Amino acid sequence: MKEEIKKFIIDWNNNTHKLNSESFWGGKTPLDLIMFCFKNHKKITSDKLLYSLIFESNNLKSEIRKYNQFLKALEFFHHNELLKGNTSKRNYKYEKEKNYSLYDIELQRVLDYTNNTISIPTVNQNTIDKAIIKKFNSFSHFDSSHAYSFIFYQAKQYDFDSKRINKWFLLNKKSTDEKWRNTFFEKLPLFVSTFFSIESKGEKIELWVEYCFMNKGYEYFERFIDVNLDKFNNYIIDVYKENHYQNLLKKYHETSKISIDSEKYRLKEVKRLESLLGTQLPPLARFDGSESCDYYSTYNKLINGDRNFDKMSEKNLAGRVEAITDFIIYLKNQKINKSKNKLTSAVYNKNLLPIEIFENTRDYLKKNAIQINSCYHIQAYDACSILLRKITEILIIEIYEKEKIEHKIKDQDGNYVLLKGLINRFTSEESFKNILSRNTKDILPKIKRNGDLSAHNRKYISTKHDIDKLSDDFRVIFQELINTIYH
């Protein structure tokens, strides 16, 4: 066997001049040469050769040219041999292991020489966690999109365990002072624990979009979400739209309060936002990473009635564009009280709902209508939206009761279904086709959505514009329903 080992070494020595000295893996590598030698000397095994080099006292080391490269290639080869047939699931890969993806953790191949044996050392979780943070920060230096995608990919390997993710946050906090990385990691454990505890797909989407709005990194959770996003396309855009609209409104009023000329500031904002939507940048400018370069094309797509957007970032931009268009209308509808140089809303002298259409109906309906008008006059727009939703629900139920088909809107326990179900069944009910206007299917969900946001979204604040843009339509719908039920 010693003679065979010496022949093996002679083969190595005679071919070392072919090695690429600049790169371990480029061209004819040490690993290529080791594999060539094993092919020519099939009686030699990697474990016997390593054992002879490491544990036996002989002069083999001094006989081997470029010994360090020889040993590294031999250890790599033996490490690979030891892993053959090992199908155990690992949350990491070793160097040049098959089926390696960009987002896998890749560990160096090392061997353990203790107790006169050669083995692969156990990889502890702390080592893997540190490797995850190291690779995350490596991605962050040149492409944050890969950094975010990598973390979500790794989180999935651990079934989105919030405790494991929190460990990554603590490790990352020690390794970097960059605020954006720590902010993303700090909120990630709470996000995943909350997201996977929610049963409602709609609520999952709303939570996700809220986090996306706070930090764009959460958009890269898209490929791991367990919801068919195509069904929620419009909903996602609407949630983004509300968040962006509230943000625009907040920033505008904050600046308006300290502006020396509120009117000029208002006009300047209108001009700036209109320019943002109406400016088409040259094609090459779209590769500069600027988000503004997509406003024009997104705006024109929405003008054409096309609301289909594939990526989460595109839905975000669509919501932003729609928020801007609504906000421009809001700004144009403002009037200035010049004596106080203070921005105020135009006084609305008419009732939102004509009380006369509620005459000869149930007393509670009329009282609800009076409350809606009162809320509108005192600018309690969230309360107004919730009450409009309530009247919508009442009238749908009552028209079914009038026709004595209320069983069609009840569940197995005999309870009325929720408003979303009421609207879906109502607008598809053949019995009511002749009494509904064409846009009923579009308006009823919007009334519901405004009410839902006012009641359940802690950051949403309803505005006069949110209600005014639907006012003509819900008056018509309420009157149609009341005439059918009570006359």
Q: What is the pLDDT of residue 246?
A: 84
Helix axes 162-175, 144-157, angle to 10 degrees: 140
Distance of alpha carbon 53 from alpha carbon 68, whole angstroms: 12
Q: What is the pLDDT of residue 339?
A: 37
Q: Are 323 and 241 in contact (CB under 8 A)?
A: yes
Q: What is the pLDDT of residue 112?
A: 93
Residue at 325: amino acid letter: T
Closest CA to 423 of 405, 452, 397: 397
Distance of alpha carbon 369 from alpha carbon 474, whole angstroms: 12
Question: Average pLDDT of each block of 10 consecutive residues along the chain (487 residues)?
Answer: 88 88 62 92 92 86 92 94 80 87 91 91 93 90 87 93 91 73 82 88 82 87 80 83 86 90 91 86 45 74 89 88 89 58 43 87 91 90 94 93 91 88 88 75 86 84 86 86 86
Taking CA 107 as the corner, what is the angle to CA 106 and CA 108, rounded to the nearest 5 degrees?
Answer: 125
H-only helix segments in 84-227: 125-140, 144-157, 162-175, 179-195, 201-214
DSSP assignment string, 427-465: HH-GGGTTTS-TTHHHHHHHHHHHHHHHHH-TT----HH
φ/ψ (deg, to 5) at 218: -70, -15
* Residue reference for tokens 């421009």: 328
DSSP assignment string, 463-477: -HHHHHHHHHHHHHH
Distance of alpha carbon 325 from alpha carbon 330, whole angstroms: 9
Distance of alpha carbon 302 from alpha carbon 321, whole angstroms: 9
Q: Which long-range contacts (CB under 8 A, 24 or more apart) does 227-230 make?
A: 227/201, 229/205, 229/312
Q: What is the pLDDT of residue 344?
A: 40
**Element containing residue 352 per DSSP (H, E):** none
φ/ψ (deg, to 5) at 429: -75, 120
Distance of alpha carbon 185 from alpha carbon 287, whole angstroms: 28
Give the tokens for residue 295: 């406003």
Q: What is the pLDDT of residue 21?
A: 55
Distance of alpha carbon 450 from alpha carbon 416, whole angstroms: 21
Distance of alpha carbon 153 from alpha carbon 102, whole angstroms: 10
Q: Are 183 and 156 in contact (CB under 8 A)?
A: no
Q: What is the pLDDT of residue 342?
A: 43
